[in-house]
Every structure is written in C-alpha cells, then in structure tokens.
Amino acid sequence: MAEEESTVFELQDEFESKAKGFGKGKYGRILKMAHTPSRDEYTKTLYITGLGIILIGAVGFAIWWLMDVLPTYF
C-alpha cells in the first residue's frame, strides 16, 4: 500500500513540475487567453461550420454531376 502511494506521489510531482513550465513557452500567451466559449459563441461556430460543410458538399456534388452529364454531350 505504501509503495503504491509513493508511486502516485511521484507521478503527481512529475506532472506538477511539467505543468509549471507549461505557460512559459511559445504557446503560453495563447493558453492564458483561452477560455470556454459562451453558448452564443458555440452556436455561431456550429452554424458557420455546418454551412461550410454543406457548401463544400454542394460544390462536390455539382462537380460530380457535371462530370456525369457533360461527357454524354461530346
């Protein structure tokens, strides 16, 4: 039991030592500015992403349809 506790404490210490320098690197400023999006931000992102997926799918379908129809005219 004591052996397991020491292993857990060692892992915790190792994790904390790595986490201390986490915000000091080149991504530190970005991580400090990061936050959980609000409900409004999330829904806007969801709508924009959904519209982008639909638009790309429509363009792909149009290209497929043109490639299927155009060769019959030539």
Q: Under a CB-based contact definition with an 8 Å cutoff, are residues 2 and 11 in contact?
A: no
- Containing structural domain, residue 3: 1-34
The first and second tokens of residue 51, run together, are 């519209």
Q: Are residues 48 and 18 in the same domain?
A: no
Per-residue pLDDT for 1 more than 60? no
Q: Are residues 43 and 72 in the same domain?
A: yes
How many residues belong to the chain?
74
Return the residue matching tokens 């790595």: 18
* pTM beyond 0.85: no
Rounded-to-integer distance, Cα 39 and Cα 19, Å: 29
What is the tens place of the pLDDT at every residue in 34-68? 888 899 999 999 999 999 999 999 999 999 999 99
Count structural domains, the chain: 2
Q: Are residues 25 and 41 in the same domain?
A: no
Q: Are residues 40 and 73 in the same domain?
A: yes
Q: Are residues 16 and 28 in the same domain?
A: yes
Q: Are residues 26 and 42 in the same domain?
A: no
